[in-house]
DNA sequence: CTGTATCTATAACGTGAGGTTATGGATGTG
DNA sequence: CACATCCATAACCTCACGTTATAGATACAG
């Protein structure tokens, strides 16, 4: 049996409709029909009841639907364990990060670690903003440079490395761009470029929901990567709160950064799981030293 | 990822050699070479160190080798759960059995159950002797008609249904065939047709190891199915202990059955897992009634 | 040192799987 | 009755997965 077949099955089960599931999976509807029928042949069981209104799970189909997530997770965990061991044997420390990581401290950290562990190499792995843990939650990295606060942060060990004020990024032609300093109240009605909704608390923080006094945020665009984020801002889809360092790391023609009063700063932290090995502990120490 | 790839990987890991693993899997050696390389590409990791003496697992390969049995078992359990639900919904009770099942009591049991649960159907599933639990251990059946004793029987609920003496089956031309009754001591030096070695205690019982006073059994052939067993006996590869009923259920030209003194009888039992549902409980009651 | 055995890897080939587009069949709705 | 929507099949193309043949590397025995 193939994980691809199981993912196809799961999509059909979730959508209740072959046509929509095919769209979600980026395959044609006849391809999906064939694959589902093949899975049913392999098991010798009907998993769906077909009707004009779509595909309803049968009893056995429901049993399979309940177990498939566990199976797929088993696969994922296995791949991660294998890759983690491969990295360990190759003396590679995999560090996830978002956007500008730890700003100027990042090269200091990497250089410091290289001195401490010359046989080892740090591999920086950029994540999208759909995952505020920067790959840590999925086990794709050994530790991560993250931005606080984010949902679930209490599950990780955290070492705050630096704090910086936040500013606002906007297109150069924006009327408010003329003011050298802004107050957050000035921005309440502006459309914002936001992170994906599923990041929950993390997105709320970057929309300064707590400082809005009940004013709902207007969402002009949703982006997951710095490049998309910058494009959306430059194209006037909205403005965005940003770390002050963004003016250095993400300087772009057509985008200006202005200080903002009335919102709390942003903190960069190193996050890691329980029971770090000696190599990761050295990395943690290196981060602490670089943050002083 | 495909279970077929994982099974190929597991075989190579176990054999330490592509050529032998290919033989075990009934594919050609180049096919296996290609599949293993594809798995390594998919994972982006080297799983084996190649050398003239064969394929040795790397560190990541070992991590995968440790996890593959669990993954494959997850697949197997899922298939079984789906099929069990399909059988339940179709009102089919799956009963495993070996050889002649419960002899003449078998049709009585099936008829009795049909009366008790007319909406349900019993599906008799024959197993080979490589599995003394007749499919129960693998979850392929809901209950099974088994022959005691067998290793692991304490893990199941058991209801003894009948006991019968054992006799010896031999080719008609065998010199001992002239005697109407034999003593087991007469058979100590005869080659035997045996069950597979991995059945352990079960095979020992049918070789009457406990009655040999230290004499090792001579093995003339190993078989897993009644037909093979009968052929091996008829062809003179050896003799075999058999239930007395075998003379009725497995009467064949060229084979004779003779009573044997000095060995314990054989018992047929119904075996089932913990927590049987109401339908299975009815079946158990039907078996008890048929055994009185 | 050479020939042989043994092991893995590649080449070339054939069949079938997995995708596509086009279209058919069934059913529900306006 | 026409149209929309859903699943299923037909026909086609590309590539994966198997095969046999053979190459390359290495260890060993004579």
Whether B60 and A3 lie within 8 Å, measured CB to CB: no
Residue A33 has pLDDT above 90, yes or no: yes
pLDDT surpassing 90 at residue A134: yes
With contact defined as beta carbons under 8 Å apart, do A140 and A125 qualify?
Answer: yes
Residues B156 and B269: beta-carbon distance below 8 Å: no
Rounded mean pLDDT of A110-118? 94
Which chain B residues in 42-81 sit with Cβ < 7 A of strand D? 51-53
A189-202 pLDDT, tens digit each: 999 999 998 898 99
* CB atoms closer than 10 angstroms to residue A225: 15
| Whole-number Å distance between alpha carbons of B254 and B271 | 34
Task: Give Rg (Cα) of chain B.
Answer: 23
Nearest CA in chain B to A84: B60
CATH number of B3-82: 1.10.10.10
Q: Which nucleotides of D are covered by protein (CB under 7 A)?
A: 5-11, 17-22, 25-27
Element (H, E) at A77: helix A59-89
Enter the tokens of residue B240.
Answer: 């075999």
Which one-letter DSSP state was computed for residue B175? G
Residue B291 binned pLDDT confidence (cut-offs 50, 70, 90): confident
Q: Which of B42, B60, B50, B44 is nearest to B18 (CA)?
A: B50
As a whole number, mean pLDDT of residues A64-88 equals 94
**CA–centroid distance for A97 within its chain:** 10
For A2, which residue in chain B has the nearest alpha carbon?
B2
Task: Domain B166-264: give its CATH architecture.
Answer: 3-Layer(aba) Sandwich (3.40)
Output the pLDDT for position A34. Answer: 95
Beta-carbon-side half-sphere exposure of residue A286 (alpha carbons within 13 Å): 22
Q: Nearest Cα to A104, choosing from A283, A244, A228, A258?
A: A244
**pLDDT value, residue B292:** 78
Do A55 and A16 form a contact (C-beta atoms < 8 A)?
yes
Q: Is the per-residue pLDDT at A176 higher than 80?
A: yes
Cβ neighbours of B43 in A, within 8 Å: 79, 82-83
Name the class of domain A3-83.
mainly alpha
Q: What is the pLDDT of residues B14-50, one digit of tens each?
A: 999 999 999 999 999 999 999 999 999 999 999 999 9
Q: Which of B289, B286, B280, B246 is nearest to B92 (CA)?
A: B280
Alpha helices in chain B (DSSP H): 3-15, 18-25, 29-43, 59-89, 105-116, 201-206, 226-234, 246-249, 278-291
Residue of A nearest to B81 (CA): A63
Name the residue among B236, B234, B182 with its Cα closest to residue B211.
B182
Instruction: Report whether A22 contacts A31 (CB < 8 A).
Output: yes
Percent of chain A topping pLDDT 90:
88
Task: Dump pLDDT digits (tens) for A237-288.
Answer: 999 999 999 999 999 999 999 999 999 999 999 999 999 999 999 999 999 9
Band (pLDDT 50/70/90 cuts) for residue B160 is: very high
Instruction: Give the count of beta carbons closer than 10 Å to the beta carbon of residue A35.
Output: 20
Q: Quick one: tokens of A222? A: 């949703």
Question: CA-CA distance, B78 to A125, in Å (whole number)?
Answer: 35
| Cα–Cα nearest to B260, from B179, B150, B162 | B179
Helix, strand, coil percentages, rounded to 5, for chain B: 45, 25, 30
C-alpha distance from residue B130 to each of A41, B21, B134 (Å): 27, 22, 9
Determine whether the interchain pair B83/A64 forms a contact, defined as Cβ–Cβ distance below 8 Å.
no
Torsion angle defined by CA atoms of residues A112, A115, A117 and A118, in that order, rounded to the nearest 10 degrees = 130
Residues of A within 8 A of B46 (CB-CB) are 86
Q: Which one of A47, A75, A84 has the shortest CB-CB distance to B71?
A: A75
The average pLDDT across A146-164 equals 94
Is pLDDT at A1 greater than 80 in this prediction?
no
Percent of chain B with pLDDT over 90: 88
Query: Is-contact A191 A219, C-beta < 8 A?
Result: yes
pLDDT of residue B53: 81
What are the structural domain ranges in chain B?
3-82, 91-161+268-291, 166-264
Q: Which of B110, B88, B92 is nearest to B101 (CA)?
A: B110
CA A92, A98, A99, A105 dihedral sign is negative
CA distance B100 to B250: 9
Compute and round to an integer the Cα radius of gyration of chain A: 23
Smallest CA–C1' separation from B28, nucleotide: D19
List phi, psi (to 5°) of A70: -65, -40
Cβ-Cβ contacts under 8 Å, A60 against chain B: 82-83, 85-86, 89
B125 confidence band (pLDDT: 50, 70, 90): very high
Question: Which residues does A contribute to its contact with B (CB < 8 Å)?
Answer: 1-3, 43-47, 58-60, 62-64, 67-68, 70-71, 74-75, 77-79, 81-86, 88-89
Tell me the average pLDDT across B170-191: 94
So what's the architecture of A91-160+269-291 in CATH? 3-Layer(aba) Sandwich (3.40)
Asked whether the beta carbons of residue A82 and residue B63 sit closer than 8 angstroms, the reply is yes
CATH code for the part of the protein at B91-161+268-291:
3.40.190.10
Q: What is the mean pLDDT of residues B176-187?
A: 94
- Calculate ∠ Cα B142-B272-B195, nearest 5°: 90
The β-bridge partners of B261 are B183
- Which uninterrupted H or E stretch holds A67? helix A59-89
Q: Which residue has the tokens 């696969």?
A: A75
Q: Quick one: B51 exposed, middle or buried, by C-beta within 10 A (0-12, 13-18, 19+)?
A: exposed
pLDDT at B1 over 80: no
The pLDDT, as a whole number, for residue B198 is 87
- The reply to whether A3-83 and A166-264 are identical in fold is no
- Structure letter (DSSP) for residue A176: G
Take residue B18 and report the two structure tokens written for it.
């592509």
């Amino acid at each position: 049996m193939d994980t691809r077949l199981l993912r196809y099955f799961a999509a059909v089960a979730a959508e209740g409709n072959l046509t929509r599931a095919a769209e979600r999976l980026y395959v044609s509807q006849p391809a999906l029909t064939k694959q589902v029928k093949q899975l049913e042949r392999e098991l010798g069981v009907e998993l769906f009841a077909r009707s004009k209104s779509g595909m309803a799970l049968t009893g056995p189909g429901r049993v399979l639907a309940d177990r498939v997530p566990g199976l797929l997770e088993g696969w994922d965990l296995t791949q991660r364990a294998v890759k983690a061991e491969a990295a360990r044997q190759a003396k590679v420390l995999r560090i996830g990060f978002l956007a500008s990581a730890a700003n100027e401290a990042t090269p200091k950290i990497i250089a410091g670690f290289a001195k401490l562990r010359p046989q080892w190499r740090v591999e920086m792995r950029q994540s999208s903003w759909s995952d505020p843990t920067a790959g840590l939650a999925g086990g794709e990295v050994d530790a991560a440079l993250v931005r606080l606060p984010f949902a679930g942060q209490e599950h990780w060990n955290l070492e705050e490395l630096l704090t910086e004020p936040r500013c606002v990024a906007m297109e150069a032609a924006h009327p408010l761009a003329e003011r050298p300093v802004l107050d957050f109240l000035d921005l309440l009605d502006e459309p914002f470029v936001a992170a994906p909704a599923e990041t929950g608390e993390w997105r709320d923080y970057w929309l300064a929901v707590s400082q809005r006094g009940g004013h709902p945020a207007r969402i002009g665009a949703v982006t997951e990567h710095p490049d998309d984020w910058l494009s959306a801002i430059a194209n006037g889809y909205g403005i965005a709160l940003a770390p002050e360092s963004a003016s250095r790391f993400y300087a772009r023609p057509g985008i200006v950064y202005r200080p903002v009063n009335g919102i709390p700063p942003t903190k960069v932290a190193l996050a890691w799981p329980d029971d770090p090995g000696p190599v990761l502990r050295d990395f943690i120490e290196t981060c602490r030293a670089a943050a002083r």
